[in-house]
Chains A and B, each alone.
Chain A
Amino acid sequence: EPEVTQTPSHQVTQMGQEVILRCVPISNHLYFYWYRQILGQKVEFLVSFYNNEISEKSEIFDDQFSVERPDGSNFTLKIRSTKLEDSAMYFCASTAQQLATNEKLFFGSGTQLSVL
């Protein structure tokens, strides 16, 4: 079965540094998402992206966060100035069509971000 690929699997950074998390969604998919999971807590929605623009974002997704689809295959999440509380597992996800049209939302294996 096709997979969503995320790199790196682990990222360690110093507080205040910029990080870019990378994702390669499934090739024919059009809708892209970032979620995160702080250790021991729920998986939380960050942002959805379609047609080269953000379609929805959560309160967590403030001005420090941005997303981009720089080419036809990659989807990135940038955190401009990392904080300790940004430490979490970040998941990329994608679907071919809008959810609630009998679509599966496929998740990648995640990037574990540790901010020191």
Chain B
Amino acid sequence: EDQVTQSPEALRLQEGESSSLNCSYTVSGLRGLFWYRQDPGKGPEFLFTLYSAGEEKEKERLKATLTKKESFLHITAPKPEDSATYLCAVQGGSEKLVFGKGTKLTVNP
């Protein structure tokens, strides 16, 4: 069974304090690893898809990387508006995405 574990569950940073979020996964035949941002009461907002180990993608202050067992979401010099829950999901040999519980990020000014 495909599984995703995210850590930490919650993270508090000061504005400008860089850090990383972890997503560990087990999946039969990875077809894609997805990162989403979710604000309270809203739907997940797409950030990145990674397909193979060694791949990296960047968007503004965010950079996602992928190995054979885990993915990291690096946040460089975060701002308060980066506060959200970040979700990781994997797609294995089917149509569905399997999500982790997320990391709730709070960035204090």
Contacts and interface: CB of A to CB of B under 8 A. Distances in A.
Contacts of B102: 42
B31 A91 contact: no
Interface in A1-56: 4, 6, 31, 33, 35, 41-45, 48, 55-56
Interface stretch (B13-21, B58-66, B91-99): B91-99
B91 A41 contact: no
A110 B87 CA distance: 16
A39 B101 CA distance: 11
Interface residues of B, number: 24
Contacts, number: 61
Interface centre among B31, B89, B95 (most CB of A within 10 A): B95
Interface string A95-116: 0001110111111111010000
Interface string B33-44: 010100001111
Contacts of B41: 109-110, 112
A51 to B, nearest CB: 13
B31 A100 contact: yes
Contacts of B45: 107
A58 interface: yes
Interface of B: 31-32, 34, 36, 41-46, 49, 51, 87, 89, 91, 94-102
CB-CB nearest 4 A-B residue pairs: A107-B43, A45-B96, A100-B31, A48-B95
